[in-house]
Amino acid sequence: MRTEIKLSEAVGKTLEALAFGQGQVIMAFAGGTFATLGVSSDADVAEATLRWEEFGDSWLISLGVFTEEELAAKRKKMEDDWKASCDDRDRAQYERLRKKFAASGTLPE
C-alpha cells in the first residue's frame, strides 16, 4: 500500500502513474507514495485528501494505493456503517411514531 503525502512533499519524486476520478487526480510516485489533487467544477486545483470511493477498484489496485483485500475491507466497513445508520434512522422513526400514536390512543396492535 502506498502512503498519501501532500503534493508539496513530492518535489523531486519520480511520477509513476496517474488516475483520474470525479473531481480528483491521484499521482503515484516512486518510493511508495501518492498525492491527490482536487479539481472543482470551476477548474480550481488544490491539494486534497483521497476520496477513494470516487475511483474504480482497478485504478486503486493498479496504482498500489490499496490491495484487493484492503479495498474489500473498506467496502465492507462502508456497507456495515451504512446499514447501522439505516437501523438507527429506522429505530428513531419507529420510536417517534410509537409515541405519536400512543399519545393519540390509536396505537395499532
- The span from the CA of 102 to the CA of 109, in Å, is 11
Domain ranges of the chain: 1-66, 67-109
Nearest to 17 by CA among 9, 27, 30, 3: 27
Lowest-confidence segment of 39-43, 51-55, 72-76 by average pLDDT: 39-43
Provide the pLDDT confidence category of residue 109 given band limits of 50, 70 and 90: low
Neighbours of 78 (CB within 10 A): 12
Give mean pLDDT, residues 1-27. 90
Q: Which residues contact 52 (CB under 8 A, 6 or more apart)?
A: 60, 65, 66, 71, 74
Provide the pLDDT confidence category of residue 59 given band limits of 50, 70 and 90: confident
pTM of the model: 0.66
Positions of E strands within 1-109: 3-4, 15-20, 24-29, 33-39, 45-48
- The span from the CA of 29 to the CA of 72, in Å, is 24
**Cα angle for residues 89, 71, 85 (degrees, 5° grid):** 5
pLDDT in tens, 77-97: 999 999 999 999 999 999 998
- The span from the CA of 8 to the CA of 72, in Å, is 30
